[in-house]
Chain A
Amino acid sequence: MTEAPNGRTEAAGATSSASSGEYLLETRGLKMHFPIKAGVLKRTVGHVKAVDGVDLQVRQGETLGLVGESGCGKSTLARLILRLLEPTAGEVVFEGENILGYDRKRMLRVRRDMQIIFQDPYASLNPRMTVGNIIAEPLKTHDIGGSSGERKRRVQELLEIVGLNPEHYNRYPHEFSGGQRQRIGVARAVALNPKLIICDEPVSALDVSIQAQVVNLLQDLQKEFGLTYVFIAHDLSVVKHISDRVAVMYLGKIAEISDRKGLYAEPRHPYTNALLSAIPVPDPEKERARRRVVLAGDVPSPANPPSGCNFHTRCPRVREYCKEHVPPLIPQEKNGGAEAGESPDHRASCFFPVLEGQRIDERAESTPYRVSER
């Protein structure tokens, strides 16, 4: 497979990405507030702030991991990017253009370039359609692939690419295992040769042994077709394996974002520290000695998020200041102090980040970290 799957010329792809600047995808202040309706008259009595102001940049060809507890808004964010949900506020900028204002026709064109892979391989395939029809649907919708015979060949080719038997064209989804079904979902997503694929927890529902296969498949496809991924997961190890950069979400906001190395080696946000400390070590000696940060309480309700920093209710380093002020995403220094310099890529929304050599439950310095300069 050297040719692009849908035969789109490389030149066309190059010109469009040249005009888009540095990022393939950007979200600016993206918000999704679901109204809570109550009473007979269905009056809106509040909002669930599922996504509450997310700025995210995704570079061409990279994999951005997105982690966070369930209910933190990861999947909602994915659906907002794809316009499966219309956001309350903010922009989704794809290849330099805000796609939120797009009409049906222009949106259809964009949909060729961004696809999604779902978490549950049992719910994401229509049980009444054959695998062939499922994978052919994007081709039909966008009128690609010519005659039905050519389209069928193309579908069989896709089946082969994702490691399935092309002869299984006429089978129904329930005749496949979970991992195989996920491969079908992958085939459907790459059928249009998109630039961006949002992977919404693509391996969370799979057996551990199958997870590796699917992750490897995704990586192979990325290399082969130059795909860009937003990889949503709650398994930090998987994210570490696949991502170039990682963003941590908490309660609808980005808590910390960094390149992979920075985030795993030098987590600055107390929440990131807590998450990382929860990864078990497969060595009993080390595991016993490992210090874990156990956060107290539950995630607050997104219908009524805490004031100030939304993590302050559970933060071991909380100060009065945090309860009143909302921390922006502040660029963080690399380990080694001020000489090592500030990394614009490593940002955390915390006034009192966990610095080198500090323990998370250690009291932070008395002045909010670098806030005065901002």
Chain B
Amino acid sequence: MVDQPRGMTDLRADGAMGPGEAAAEGYGKVEGRTQKQIVWRRFKRHKLAIAGGLVLLLIYVAALATPVIAPYEYDESDFTAINQGPSADHPMGTDRLGRDELTRVLYGGRVSLVVGLGVGTFVTLIGGIVGLLSGYYGRRVDTALAGLMDFVLVLPFLPVLLVLGSIFQFSAFTITFVIALLLWPRMARIVRGQVLSIRNQDYVQAAKAIGVSDVRIAFRHVLPNVVGIMVVEATLVVAQAILIETAVSYLGLGIQPPTPSWGNMLEDSRTTMTTQWWLTWFPGLMIVLTALCVNFLGDGLRDALDPKAVE
């Protein structure tokens, strides 16, 4: 059948890579590269995703190390420096109680990131499992689970959050849990739809004809073909969760002051947006930056996980 360009293969085997590397990619050495390596190679080509991933990593490291690197305490007031703009002492300025804005942005980030990552994980797990079951087994299971999804989907989002918030006093963990419980059905629906179409593909039929077990079919044949779409949806969910937490805190029912979150910091600065711009801009920028990075990362992952993606 297709003949190998032997020369190229040999070149690559010698480790001599040059401008021809990209061309050799499709036809070159066949053995020796594991799945992980292949995915990683493709991911590396996605510059925006790399950048997004790095920035996100930086944000996460900063959040983890906040107690060490933060210059002040988040509730430490300095009444000699109220409402000051950015300066050497306070790189992001201070708020009306003389608290250091940089410190508060760092601490606020911890909340937002816990919520974002937490909701993303939860939603992917619940939505993925429910969608897989619902799509793969169909019939009664599907009817029951689809009913549940519809029920959660029609719940008005903000009112439910606000009511629960006024009853329970959200902490970072409870709000993560509640947002995840409200967000999973969309993931489940997407997965379910995808599974429904994959279930009838010939390769699944072929696996059945071979005698492959249901569980193995679900994990070897169905899941890998859904993963791309799940990753993208998960990153959207992460960004969305961060924004929802922000919104709820902005409305005063999320994370309660003095604990800062990007949301309640925005809310705090609402009235002073024109005069003390730094109080709005820094938490705002962080929200946008985080959400963007997560989305870029998702794009890159999706492409890297898809073997059909153009090299």
Contacts and interface: CB of A to CB of B under 8 A. Distances in A.
Interface of A: 79, 82, 84, 107-108, 111-112, 114-116, 118-120, 123-129, 137-138, 141-142, 163-165, 167-172, 174-175, 180, 183, 185, 188, 192
A99 to B, nearest CB: 13
Interface stretch (B44-52, B197-205, B296-304): B197-205
Nearest to A142: B211
Nearest to A79: B205
Contact of A180 (B1, B30, B207): B1
A128 B31 contact: no
Interface of B: 1-2, 4, 26, 30-31, 33, 201-203, 205-213, 216, 220-221, 224-225, 307-308
18 contacts: A84-B208, A107-B211, A115-B209, A116-B209, A119-B202, A123-B203, A124-B203, A126-B203, A126-B221, A129-B220, A137-B212, A138-B210, A171-B30, A172-B307, A174-B308, A180-B1, A185-B206, A188-B206
B210 A84 contact: no
A128 B225 contact: yes
Contacts, number: 85
Given A118-B202, A170-B33, A171-B30, A141 B1 contact: no
B307 A174 contact: yes
A137 B207 contact: yes
A301 B207 CA distance: 31
Nearest to A114: B209
B2 A165 contact: yes
B210 A141 contact: yes
Nearest to A165: B1
A315 to B, nearest CB: 35
Contacts of A111: 209-211
Contact of A84 (B1, B33, B209, B225): B209
Given A118-B206, A141-B216, A165-B2, 5 more contacts: A79-B205, A84-B208, A125-B203, A126-B220, A188-B210
A127 B307 contact: yes
Nearest to B216: A141
A163 B1 contact: yes
Contacts of B205: 79, 84, 116, 118, 124
B170 to A, nearest CB: 40
Contact of B225 (A108, A124, A127, A172): A127
Contacts of B203: 123-126
A169 B2 contact: no
A170 B30 CA distance: 6
B117 to A, nearest CB: 26
- Kindly list the 6 A-B residue pairs having the minimum CB-CB distance in the complex, ordered from nearest: A124-B202, A128-B224, A111-B211, A123-B202, A126-B203, A118-B202
Nearest to B2: A165
Contact of A116 (B2, B31, B206, B221): B206
B246 to A, nearest CB: 36
Contacts of B201: 123
Contacts of A118: 202, 205-206
B228 to A, nearest CB: 9
Nearest to A188: B206
A170 B31 contact: yes
A149 to B, nearest CB: 13
